[in-house]
Structure 1
Amino acid sequence: MEKKKYLLFIPLTLSMLMVATLIILNADQNKNVFIHRGEILINKLYLEIEDGDTVVYRGDYIRFLGVDTPEIRNPDVGIYEDQPYGREAEEFTRREIMKAKTVTFIPTGVDRYGRTLAHLFVDGYPLSLKIVEAGYGYETVSSFGDNGFPDIAEKILNAAKLHRDLPFENPWYWRKKHQIKKH
């Protein structure tokens, strides 16, 4: 009877050691990974890049929190010309998503246009933060708050300080001048 108890104890101990080893080995690799509950894994086969700050996943539009990128032509929303650097921002987003091993998102709500508002993560790193760090978008944390992600918001604000003079107009102002609203 004692031997059976001992035999049951061995697999449990080995499993715990394996988990502890994996945690220790991954600790250094994940310094820049943001871990949040409620992340939804994206299958990239069903993902389309709409522009620099919006993707379409399985028919649902997902608008990234924390960033606003230059616009690209989209007559459906009254934009009939590309904003300077719009295509570059779109291509940056496409590259970051396509080279990522994992893409996840955390939805926080829906905007007035019916788009899901979310943080999208590429290999655990917030894509909005990558966009601001690369100088392809203006931060929106100052206008809309941290949306429940104070750690990401702070990093976005800090990254924006490095790119105060972007080579394109703030997309919000650009839309005011160029977007033709449908009545």
Structure 2
Amino acid sequence: MTKNYFIYLLILATCLSFTSSDKLPNEFFAKVIGVKDGDTIEILFKKDPIIIRLEHIDCPEKKQPFGQKAKQFTSDFCFGKKVKVINKGKYDRYRRLIATIEYEGKSLNKELVRNGYGLHFKKYSKDSSYTILEEQAKLQKKGMWSQEKLIEPWLFRKRKTSKSKKTN
């Protein structure tokens, strides 16, 4: 192989591996094309689909009480709409962009907590405004707070994982 051929291949590989999501702006607008669950959506930005994990919160899993209602709330709030995505360029272990979603001046992240469909994910967030919203929803017995006994989504996932390890 010649030196020029090697350089050409290197440049080509670099170009092919780049997508617009590699260097996203901290704030941008994009259309919501999918709702995976209460705290995970898919957007289309410059023809690239991007999975977003909502920052600061955790919603019930689909198989938990209020999991489907959280997904429906998210869908009603933003599906098919052009939303503002605010992020710090961070991704979770599943390569989802961690972000806040706004539509018409309202934060989806905060609206989920305010309405009892999301919890403040204190393990990953120090934003006390979410704790206040959660306490208000709890006092008003909104959404998941209307249940006798609530299992936090992170404990539900942990319990599900430990059960599957026991069966193997």
TM-score between both structures, scaled by the size of structure 1: 0.62
**Alpha-carbon distance in structure 1 between the residues aligned to 2:107 and 2:31:** 17
Written as runs of structure 1 = structure 2, the 5 A alignment for 1:36-47 is 38-44=26-32, 47=33
Match of 1:63 in 2: 53
Match of 1:130 in 2: 111
**How many residues were matched structurally?**
127
Identity %: 27
CA offset at residue 114 of structure 1?
A: 0.9
Instruction: Give the RMSD, CA atoms, in angstroms.
Output: 2.3
List runs of 5+ in structure 1 lacking aligned partners. 1-36, 73-81, 147-152
**Alpha-carbon distance in structure 1 between the residues aligned to 2:79 and 2:157:** 28
Deviations 1:59-85 (A, max 9, x none): 32100011100112xxxxxxxxx1111
Written as runs of structure 1 = structure 2, the 5 A alignment for 1:1-183 is 38-44=26-32, 47-58=33-44, 59-72=49-62, 82-98=63-79, 102-108=82-88, 109-140=90-121, 142-146=122-126, 153-164=127-138, 166=145, 167=147, 168-179=150-161, 180=164
TM-score between both structures, scaled by the size of structure 2: 0.67
Deviations 1:6-32 (A, max 9, x none): xxxxxxxxxxxxxxxxxxxxxxxxxxx
List runs of 5+ in structure 2 lacking aligned partners. 1-24
The runs of 4+ residues in structure 1 deviating greater than 6 Å are: none
- Alpha carbons 2:70, 2:118 under 8 Å: kept: yes
